[in-house]
Amino acid sequence: MHNAVVFSILPFCSAAFAAFANPLPCSGVCVNAHDPALIRRDDGTYFRFSTGGKIAIHSAPSIQGPWVYQGAAIPNGSKINKAGKDDLWAPDVTKVGDTYYLYYSVSSFGSQDSAIGVATSKSLDVNSWTDLGASGVASTVGKPYNAIDGNLMNDGGNFYMSFGSFWSGIYQVKMANPPTKVASGSSSSQIAFVPTGAHAQEGAFMYKYGSYYYLFFSVGQCCGFDSSRPAAGAEYKIQVCRSSNLSSSFVDKSEKSCTSGGGTTVLESHDWVYGPGGQGVFNDPSLGPVLYYHYVDTRVGYADGQKQFGINKLAFTSGWPVVV
Ligand SMILES: *[C@@H]1O[C@H](CO)[C@@H](O)[C@H](O)[C@H]1NC(C)=O
Ligand SMILES: *[C@@H]1O[C@H](CO)[C@@H](O)[C@H](O)[C@H]1NC(C)=O
């Protein structure tokens, strides 16, 4: 009787903890897709921007591919004269009016001497980008944040950039219109923070759905899994908080404040998916909201250059995003 109870509970528990859908199939170049940014041009062509290769651009006729490498967005490196100007990270792309704005990070691993740069284009294509250099979002030793991983939110013509990685977490600053610079007189404020451990939280992405602003972010160790893999559960995963005010008061599903370590897990390691993160959300005309991210396919390999492009449909039915 005792054994029967144990055995009937176990399968239920494992199902409850493995309830993540696998990524949708992806064809063409789906590898080396670190920190992806996804956007669709009006002609139906999808563009994916990613870390490395001076912001690599891939395009495809469908969100699932076949993805083809096109070239570098910033082929000569950034105008920002800092270490890392030839190794740009964490792109973010938004269309405002008839112009695409590409934000990228200039830094070096573990350094707080960082800046977010901006480039513009009318078409998204390779050879169409003009690098404007510094956006004004920057950090040096002693600041509470590290100015990388910028993400622009266009709230009805008011622009806000969320950014940050480790240190005191995710910050936000108001941007000017057009959003090439910090708004004059605007100061940065903290919107999310993990007070424990190494404060491993970064890669913020804000998405409005219904009356809420959803703040997605990645927590845990991002990289280097082929040389040092952390304790199970300490690798990258994707969490979310929400607020009706895009500048403050983010909480998770249990109402825990997201400046006190709150965060509801949206996607974490499961099946052959390991360490998903660097995410964004895109409202696809046929699939609806999708979560896109990079992950290790454990059947392929754990190196940073082997990170795969993942996509899952997202349902907001309960008021909280769930991969389906
Ligand atoms: C890169 O530099 C080359 C050589 O100076 C120049 O001809 C080219 O226009 C530059 N490309 C961009 C995108 O700035
Ligand atoms: C949103 O939060 C900010 C920061 O706390 C605050 O200044 C602002 O008044 C809030 N907006 C609304 C509509 O409550």
Residue 1 has pLDDT above 60, yes or no: no
Q: What is the pLDDT of residue 300?
A: 97
Counting from 1 in the atom list of ligand 1, the atom nearest the Cα of 76 is 1
- Domain span at 18: 2-323
* 8-39 residue pLDDT tens: 444 444 444 548 999 999 999 999 999 999 99
Residue 209 has pLDDT above 60, yes or no: yes
Q: What is the pLDDT of residue 19?
A: 80
Q: What is the pLDDT of residue 268?
A: 98
Q: What is the pLDDT of residue 106?
A: 98
Q: Is the CB of 76 under 6 A from ligand 1?
A: yes
Q: Is the CB of 130 under 6 A from ligand 1?
A: no
**Domain total of the chain:** 1
Counting from 1 in the atom list of ligand 1, the atom nearest the Cα of 74 is 13
Residue 7 has pLDDT above 50, yes or no: no
Mean pLDDT, rounded, of the chain:
94
CATH number at residue 173: 2.115.10.20
Distance (Å, rounded) from C-alpha 31 to C-alpha 67?
A: 10
CA of 279 to the centre of ligand 2 (A): 26
Give the number of the ligand closest to the Cα of residue 190: 2
Give the number of the ligand closest to the Cα of residue 188: 2
Counting from 1 in the atom list of ligand 2, the atom nearest the Cα of 248 is 2
Distance (Å, rounded) from C-alpha 61 to C-alpha 318?
A: 32
Counting from 1 in the atom list of ligand 2, the atom nearest the Cα of 247 is 2
Distance (Å, rounded) from C-alpha 323 to C-alpha 23?
A: 9
The protein residue whose alpha carbon is closest to atom 5 in ligand 1 is 76
Tell me, yes or no, if 35 is annotated catalytic.
Answer: yes
pTM over 0.85: yes
* 260-304 residue pLDDT tens: 999 999 999 999 999 999 999 999 999 999 999 999 999 999 999
Distance (Å, rounded) from C-alpha 13 to C-alpha 7?
A: 10
Q: Is the CB of 248 under 6 A from ligand 1?
A: no
| The two three-digit tokens of residue 114, written as one number | 């960082």
CA of 249 to the centre of ligand 2 (A): 9
Cα dihedral value 135, 141, 144, 148, nearest 10: 40
Tell me, yes or no, if 149 is annotated catalytic.
Answer: no
Q: What is the DSSP letter of 215?
A: E
Q: Which of 76, 125, 131 to mutate to test the pocket of ligand 1 (most atoms within 8 A of CB)?
A: 76
